[in-house]
Amino acid sequence: MTVGLNAFILVAALLFAIGMVGVILRKNTLVIYMSLELMLNAINLALVAFSRYNNTMDGNLFVFFIITVAAAEVAVGLAIVVALYRRRQTVMVDQLNALSR
Amino acid sequence: MNELLAEFLRGYTATNEWSAIMPEIMLALLALGLLVSEMFLPKAQHHLIPRIAIWGQVLIGVYAFSCIGGCLTSSGSFFSGMILQTDVSQMMRPFFLLSSILVCYLGRIYLSQQSLAKTEFYHLVLIISAAMMLLVQSSNFVMLFVALETVTVAFYVLVGYCRTSPFSLEGGLKYLILGSLSSAILLFGIVLLYGVAGNPQLPGASPDSLNFQSLQAFIALNQFTGGNLLVNVGAILVVAGICFKIGAVPFQIWVPDVYQGAPTPVTAFLAVASKAAGFIVLLVLVQGPFLALNELLVPVLSFIAAATILFGNIAAVTQRNLKRLMGLSGIAHAGYLLIGVVAVMRGVEWAVYAVIFYLVTYLLASFAVFGVMAITAKADDANQQLDDYANYSRKQPFLSGVLTLGLGSLAGIPPLGGFIAKLFLFVAAYQAGLYGLIAIAILGVVISIYYYFGWIRECYFGVPTSEIVEDTCGQSTVADRTLLGALVAGTVLVGVLPAVLPIIP
């Protein structure tokens, strides 16, 4: 049994949607990061699937760039979260509202 | 598949095309050189580092963008379609270099008031500048994504640069979350376009479907035969990701918070260079890959432009915090610029140059205003209130003159540069038949005069709440005055003689 392209794309779109809902609804910064990673991994899955079915290499190459960039983003992001936790003793976004006032 | 890969790689090794991106390479080397010089210079000589950064960039500018390097004349496609140099990208490269020089200068003023690591600031500014230059030249979605992320990740660090301030860190966190979200949306759009345009069963499918030219040919062919849902969704997602970066409604929520939290030089960099890069990318996309999707995108972008102008101007009216005010008015400026983009899509070719002209006058006026703000700011950089400027003209007559001309140009008062730039945009919109948008934009300009002049009024006619005291903070040096004076002189000169800028052909 082979899995068709549509199944891959459906799973990728679902993962992307779950990640997006997580970013919008969750309050904990670390969970938000995990949701962002989920979105990026959904994109990777779609890229690899398209690359396989279209028989081109560009998609596979692109995945490596996305993984690298995601790692850089997390490195910067966790540094900011740690620094912010030292100042404010919280990582919940609904308590981080010193601006906007 | 292996032959394809071999063909793909051969493009990189066959010719030596590095000289086409020499300015970017030199900027990156200068950025690394700054880190090295911090390691090896003795502590007493560390004040030289900002000077190395600024004068190094001036030298790069002179070398690369004068007749010596001959870069301005080169155009064409390099690195097997990764980079496409056009006259637009060649105009924007000196623009980004100029803005990063000014940011380095403002950064020196800002960092002298704070106890923070200094060298890394200049390093990151140079990296961002180089990446923005590559971003406006990119002609392939991989190149576009990598350059965009280099800019964005470095901006996360810069926005949260003031680690002692909870405001700066909170701004950094908000920018990080929303920026990553927008990158993910942009990427998903790219993936859909890649997948559809590479599908061998569709007409016009190309093995190199991330390339802008192949994508343009594919979309044009498919629009001809009835369109494709996935292409439309992908294009909308990509445009939404870009709209996020330029701060257009409904993706503007991050702008006021991030602009307030970021250190003032970084706010200026975000407002001018980041927005300019976003607009050039948008112009490249709507003139290239998405050319055949005009029917879909023109109504969307027209609506976004109108909403952006109204939201930015109306929200700014009641704002007392000056950095939020600049952020909200920056949203309004993004709306005016979007009118230019829509005019381009309606077939008015020269509107591209009107947009670039507007960006240049926006750079001159914004950096004048942000320069005054950086000099005047106290240690708590995020809380610059309108009340701080009460009777400013008696304390600092020269700086308040600079502020008046800068704000006047942003508001679009003749004979300053901002007026001519808005005039060009509106003429382009008129030629494109966008009468409704022009009416909304003129309404927006009228509202903007209210809040810009509220600030000027505070400087000249404000009633002081307490006795005027000579504070040591906020004194300007001769170099500051020369630079700000030059910016203002540039604004006036562009307004009186628009032909001094060789932009509009």
B342-371 pLDDT tens trace = 999 998 889 999 999 999 999 999 999 999
A59 neighbourhood in chain B, CB within 8 Å: 191, 194-195, 198
Average pLDDT (B217-224) is 87
Q: Is A56 an 8 Å CB contact of chain B?
A: yes
Backbone torsions φ then ψ of B496, nearest 5 degrees: -80, -40
Under 8 Å between Cβ of B8 and B206 = no
| Gap between the Cα atoms of B111 and B134, Å rounded | 28
Q: Which of B146, B172, B177 sits opposite A65 (nearest CB)?
A: B146
CB contact under 8 A, B195 and A29: no
Contacts of B470 (CB under 8 A, 6+ apart): B395
Which of A40, A49, A72 is opposite residue B184, by nearest beta carbon?
A40
**End-to-end alpha-carbon separation of chain B, Å?**
46
pLDDT in tens, B236-286: 999 999 999 999 988 898 999 999 999 999 999 999 999 999 999 999 999
Per-residue pLDDT at B157: 95
Q: What is the mean pLDDT of chain B?
A: 88
Residue B159 has pLDDT above 60, yes or no: yes
pTM: 0.93
What is the structure's pLDDT at B383? 82
Distance CA A43, CA A48 (A): 9
pLDDT of A75 over the 90 cut: yes
The whole-angstrom distance between B228's CA and the closest CA on chain A is 16
Is the bond leading into B415 cis (omega within 30 degrees of zero)?
yes
Whether the Cβ atoms of residue A37 and residue A71 lie closer than 8 Å to each other = no
Average pLDDT over residues B484-500: 89
Residue B437, pLDDT above cutoff 60: yes
Residue B76 has pLDDT above 60, yes or no: yes
Strands (E), B154-230: none
> Confidence band (pLDDT; 50, 70, 90) for B2?
low
From B188-197, B225-234, B379-388, the region with the lowest mean pLDDT: B379-388
pLDDT score for B10: 63
User: Which residues of chain A from 18 to 37 reach within 8 Å of chain B, CB to CB?
Assistant: 19-20, 23, 29, 32, 36
**How much is the pLDDT for A21?**
96
At B92-129, the pLDDT tens digits run 999 999 999 999 999 999 998 888 888 999 999 999 99
pLDDT score of B467: 52
Q: Rounded to whole angstroms, how far apart are CA atoms B402 and B228?
A: 53
Q: Nearest residue of B to residue A42 by CA position?
A: B188
The 3-state secondary structure of B377-436 reads CCCCCCCCEHHHHCCHHHHCHHHHHHHHHHHHHHHCCCCCHHHHHHHHHHHHHHHCCCHH
Compute, in degrees rounded to 10, the torsion defined by CA atoms B269, B270, B276, B281: 130
Q: Pairing state of beta strands B83-85 and B76-78?
A: antiparallel
pLDDT of residue B471: 55
Residue B12 has pLDDT above 80, yes or no: no
What pLDDT does A100 receive?
A: 66
Element (H, E) at B477: none
Distance between CA atoms of residues B443 and B11, nearest Å: 52
**Closest listed residue to residue B282, CA positions, set B144, B128, B95, B131:** B144
Instruction: List beta partners, residue B140.
Output: B211
- A99 pLDDT band, cuts 50/70/90, is confident
Contact flag A56-B4 (C-beta cutoff 8 Å): yes
Residue B321 bridge partners (DSSP): B385
Percent of chain B scored above 70 by pLDDT?
93
Q: In the predicted model, what is the mean pLDDT of residues B136-153?
A: 94
Interface A–B counts its CB contacts (< 8 A) at: 135
Higher pLDDT, B84 or A100: B84
- List the beta bridge partners of residue B84: B77
Chain B residue whose CA is closest to A70: B180
Find the residue in B nearest to A75 (Cα): B153
